[in-house]
Amino acid sequence: MIRAVNLTKRYGSLAAVDNLNLSVKPGEIFGFLGPNGAGKTTTIKILVGLLKPTSGEAWIAGTNVAKDPVVAKRALGYVPDTPHVHERLTARELLRFVGDLRRIPPEKIEKKIDELMALFELTDRQDELLGSFSHGMRQKVCIACALLGEPRVLFLDEPTVGLDPRSARLVKDILRTIADSGGAVFVSTHVLEIAERMCDRVGIIQNGVLIAEGTVEELRSKAVPGKEGAVFSLEDLFLKLTGGEEYKELIRHLSSDHPSSDRASAGSSAGDVERRG
């Protein structure tokens, strides 16, 4: 459903994506992980046809994106990391516009809009201008736009950022439904717990290079040879594979100053980091 073949994107001497090869089969949710600036968003934009690669090929549902972009884009939906919307349109007007672009019959558009607005609990706000919507509400509208065309392949770049826990759970359930119906989902996220619980396979990219790929169990055996029986979280594996152990040691050192409140301190620190972005 998704295939990258020797995919490369260069900006001068910088290789944002360097000879990347990966594939996602029908029925899979694939998690794409990496530090900031690793090349995740660039890879996604190439795969959905928003960027031209310097070399290599991107395929969606058997179609070469560069050679037949319209056919490829008909098969996919895309939710960017930042929910940009037309602020002078209402939610319903934006969805109608997207439906028209996808050449969906008008009567089907209206029915799908009703379903999606109800699904994301936006029915009461669907006729308000998007400029008045919060970040989380805009994110819901962007996801609804991506789902409107009933895509066989869905790309999401940090899909749960800005969503409340109930909405984030809803999105995860939707992704599982798409995969279970034979589609493919490609998710880029910084929330490693989500990737560990939701994704069938994960790939880790660093400096534009795919450094690891497989199930969490397979990555455990690669990251810690000879300790197949040990339990390592995806966070542990990510830090080990991307050279981030020094940060984990620093957190442990800071927490050791307050042994009686390790859990509270760790939770507070994680919240502070998340709020600072």
For the stretch 19-53, pLDDT in tens is 999 999 999 999 999 888 899 999 999 999 999 99
Architecture per CATH, domain 2-225, reads as 3-Layer(aba) Sandwich (3.40)
Q: What is the structure's pLDDT at 183?
A: 97
pLDDT higher than threshold 60 for residue 245: no
Report in angstroms the alpha-carbon separations of 72 from 144, 146, 149, 163.
19, 14, 13, 29
Average pLDDT, the chain: 86
Q: What is the pLDDT of residues 158-201, one digit of tens each?
A: 887 778 888 888 999 999 999 999 999 999 987 787 788 889 99
Q: What is the structure's pLDDT at 255?
A: 52
Give the E-state strand segments of 119-177 in sequence order. Answer: 153-157
CA dist., res. 43 & res. 121, Å (int): 32
Q: Which residue has the higher pLDDT, 225 or 275?
A: 225
Cβ within 8 Å of residue 30, ≥6 positions away: 2, 22, 24, 184, 185, 186, 187, 199, 200, 201, 202, 203
